[in-house]
Structure 1
Amino acid sequence: MKIALLGTGFGQAHAAVYAQRGDVEVVMFGRDPDKTAAVAGKFGFAACTDTDRAFDDGSFDLVDVCLPVPQHADHVLRALDAGKHALVELPLAGDIADARRVAEAARRSDRQVFVDMFERFIPANRALFDAVDGGGYGRLEQLSLWNRTAHLWPGASLGLRTLPLEAMHSDMDIIVRTLGRPDSIDVTAVARDDDSASIEAVMGFDGAIARDSVSSLMPMPWGARGGYTATFEGGVLESVATMGFDGRPSGSVTAHTAEGARELELPAADQYTAMIDHVLACLRGEADNEIAPESVLDALQLTIDVDRLVNGVG
């Protein structure tokens, strides 16, 4: 499998996974020759600044798009037009119209498109999905998700303009996956400056409530931490995790019921490795695509709704 990896910023999280595999060949693409060569060399990849080659070179099987959000949809569509599979960092697009264009193009194509909904592969989240689907704790009545981080990615803004699409989208996907689309949304936000802020979103459902809290106001020693509390009719699941740029969280899930508390046994897996393993398994015909564009549209619409309430856009 030959992969064109576009982007030397967050693309490094994907690069770290590819570098551990012996079944892929990767070329890293970037605009700055020196930076691209340095980052590619760190992972043992070839470097290139001619982005057209990622699409025109017939030897590439997959284009991995880790570029700024406004460029996502166009690059995925270009990959499909060139007969390539595509993996794109979340969110799929900055507006729902572009996302639907990609979803429709993917439906028509014999190539596959994957959206990096990495949170679907976090073992703690899978435990929540299984609990909802299995019904062992009864109906889900309240879901609270939180994510508080320092500025771990140099140069990346985590202000009000970026937090909804780039930090809350994963949580919106979990909410939609477990409770569906909400009947109401209320949002409160505070900004320290253009790059540091906090947002609280509360969503109402028929017989349930969800809250999502994100913040980039934390000092560097804090790192990144998050989790959820899921309250069911017959028990509570509580997850706490630490996360970092390498995409390898550590954490736990505790089940609280009338019989007491017990920690669930979770498989040892990190989300980016699991996500890329899934992509490559799909391309080998060994799995069905769980992160296709069509599957992210409701979560993206909810994220855009929150963004509109925070920033008055759209």
Structure 2
Amino acid sequence: MKIGLLGTGFGRAHAAVYAACPDVEKVVVFGRTPARLRPLAEQFGFDTTTDLDAVYADPDIGLIDVCLPTPLHADHTVRAMEAGKDVLCELPLAATMQDARRIVEAQRVTGRQAFVDLFARFDPVNEYILKAVAEGTYGPLRTWETEVRTALLWEGYDLRLDSLVMDTMHGELDLFATALGRPESVTALGSEGAWRGSAGEALLTYPGGVLVRCAASALMPTSYGMGGGSRAVFADGVLETEFTGGAEGQGRTRLVEYTEGGRRPVGLPERDAYAAVIDHVLACLAGKETSRITPESALDGLQLTFDVRRRINERA
């Protein structure tokens, strides 16, 4: 497997995964400037280029990994498939629903495999909660809330309300859409000012009185890193999580179950969700697994994210 990795921002996290993957023979990284490419070449030994066309023209590259700014996702995801490549697109899938559906249509027409980096679906804690919701392990779901708090850990990148919703809340909103579908109502508030960063919160209602809350803040000091958690309240129990992390992604997560029988930490396997996505992509390309992260499966979560962003911006 030879991979073309587009982007030197969050592409660094993907590069680290590829470097540790024995199934990846070679990686070529595209970036706009040699200065941004040099650290990737030095750290991982990857080939680098500032010639984007050369990446698409390389007949040995089978997978294009799109880690470019969000407005460029659709064009490059479609271009990759039309060039006969399979493609992994970083979150969010596209900047508009029209572009997202264009990607879905391109996959249908070309017959290529396309994947969205919905890494939250591969976190063992989230998998446990999604299964509990689907199977009614603790009875019907009553409320579900998530919160992400982060410093501005990425050089030159400010999480204003638009980007806060798309880059920080989107993964959680996708989990809600995956488990519960589209909500009956969406209410959202946000706060930003002359200072850097922002904060936002969304309340979603679902049939049967289920209430879902999603909150995010990018107002933390650098020393804080990244953290947060979730709480799913069922008729017969509660699942509560807490996580910490940093610029390279999630670090440690714990899950605790509360029932009438007492408190029980739930032991789950340690897994890097980012690496799990790429392992899944490679397994799908080898015909060993069926994709859990198709562009079509991302549409409901993306639409919900756009709905939340619109309401936050209306009331900010």
Q: TM-score range by the shorter chain?
A: over 0.9
Corresponding residue SS for 2:162 = coil
Shift of 1:248: 4.1
Q: Please, what TM-score do these two structures have when normalized by structure 1?
A: 0.97
Shift of 1:298: 0.3
Q: Does 1:100 align with 2:101?
A: yes
Q: Does 1:9 align with 2:9?
A: yes
Contact 1:13 1:245 in 2 (8 A): no
User: Which range is displaced more, 184-193 or 135-144?
Assistant: 184-193
Residues 2-42 of structure 1: CA deviation (Å, up to 9, x unaligned): 00000011100100101112221101110102221232322
Match of 1:250 in 2: 252
Runs of 5+ in structure 1 lacking a partner?
none
In 2, Cα distance between equivalents of 1:9 and 1:195: 20
Against the structure 1 CA distance between its residues 259 and 121, is the aligned structure 2 distance closer, same or farther, given a 3 Å change threshold? same
Partner amino acid for 2:242?
Answer: V
Output aligned runs, 1:171-250, within 5 Å: 171-193=172-194, 195-207=196-208, 208-250=210-252
Which of 245, 252, 271 is the aligned partner of 1:269?
271
The sequence identity of aligned pairs, in percent, is 47
Match of 2:131 in 1: 130
Corresponding residue SS for 1:281 = helix
Corresponding residue SS for 1:91 = coil
Residues 236-283 of structure 1: CA deviation (Å, up to 9, x unaligned): 000101122223420111010010010111111011111110000000
In 1, Cα distance between equivalents of 2:195 and 2:207: 36
Corresponding residue SS for 1:193 = coil
Shift of 1:312: 4.3
Contact 2:159 2:198 in 1 (8 A): yes
User: Which range is displaced more, 68-77 or 156-165?
Assistant: 156-165
Match of 1:153 in 2: 154
In 2, Cα distance between equivalents of 1:261 and 1:77: 49
Match of 2:44 in 1: 43
Residues 120-166 of structure 1: CA deviation (Å, up to 9, x unaligned): 01111011011112211011110000000001111112111211111
Match of 1:89 in 2: 90
Q: Does 1:22 align with 2:25?
A: no
Corresponding residue SS for 2:227 = strand
Residues 150-208 of structure 1: CA deviation (Å, up to 9, x unaligned): 01111112111211111111011111122221111111111143641000110111120
Corresponding residue SS for 1:249 = strand
In 2, Cα distance between equivalents of 1:153 and 1:112: 30
Residues 219-252 of structure 1: CA deviation (Å, up to 9, x unaligned): 1111100211000111000010112222342011
User: Which range is displaced more, 247-256 or 77-86?
Assistant: 247-256
Contact 2:125 2:268 in 1 (8 A): yes
Corresponding residue SS for 2:220 = coil
In 2, Cα distance between equivalents of 1:59 and 1:194: 47
Contact 2:196 2:219 in 1 (8 A): no
In 1, Cα distance between equivalents of 2:173 and 2:47: 36
Q: How many residues align?
A: 313
Corresponding residue SS for 2:172 = helix
Runs of 5+ in structure 2 lacking a partner?
none
Partner amino acid for 2:32?
Answer: R
Corresponding residue SS for 1:161 = helix
User: Which range is displaced more, 66-75 or 189-198?
Assistant: 189-198
Q: Pairwise CA RMSD of aligned residues?
A: 1.3
Residues 27-77 of structure 1: CA deviation (Å, up to 9, x unaligned): 111010222123232221011000011111111000000000000000000
Moved over 4 A (4+): none
Partner amino acid for 1:197?
Answer: S
Contact 1:228 1:240 in 2 (8 A): yes
In 2, Cα distance between equivalents of 1:168 and 1:36: 29
Residues 75-109 of structure 1: CA deviation (Å, up to 9, x unaligned): 00000010000001000001101001101211232
Partner amino acid for 2:20?
Answer: Q
In 1, Cα distance between equivalents of 2:115 and 2:88: 5
